[in-house]
Amino acid sequence: TISTGIGGVLVVDGKTVSGKHGFGGEIANIIIDRNREKINYLNVGAVENECSGTAIKRKAEAAIPEKDFPHTGIVFECAEDGDERAQAIVEGMEKDLGQLFATIACVCDPDIFILGGGMMKSADKFLPGVVANFKEMSHTAVHDTPFVIAGLDEPGIIGAAMLPVSQGK
């Protein structure tokens, strides 16, 4: 999911894979660039601190102080309207998310990427750029991996509810 934060889950044969320590799918802390600033408890350059809705809003408020950003969609609107500062933020996010998905594809070669979360309301404004960057940074063998927007409104709640079922409990 891409919303106020970034989350993920790996599903293999219909079961979630959480790993030895329970951190499987914790993609929020994957480092996309160590030359970024320290924001919080996550690693420097963690994808959540660079690409989540919270991160995009933070960057927009710093770069475009004369504008209010009650939600992240305004950043995409500004970019679409030609604001170069907003365009740079969106292009950076597209590159960083493309790198994230290319990294995931290298590790587990998924059948599909299913994307949910609040930022998917603006997916038409950034997902094509994410996919283009994914293809630029990944092996050609995985270029046909589909990116699909989840049809369910509350992926976190549904995922949490499904966890005991997927673990055989």
Domain ranges of the chain: 11-166
| First-to-final CA distance of the chain | 24
The single residue listed with the structure tokens 């907003």 is 86
Is 11-166 a CATH 3.30.420.40 domain? yes
Statement: residue 141 has pLDDT above 90: yes
Q: What is the pLDDT of residues 146-165, one digit of tens each?
A: 999 998 655 554 555 455 54
**Is pLDDT larger for residue 68 or for residue 157?**
68
Closest CA to 27 of 127, 94, 105: 105
The strand pairing partners of 11, in sequence order, are 16
Closest CA to 134 of 99, 85, 89, 91: 99
Q: What is the mean pLDDT of the chain?
A: 89
pTM: 0.88
Identify whether the C-beta of residue 105 lies closer than 8 Å to the C-beta of residue 139: yes
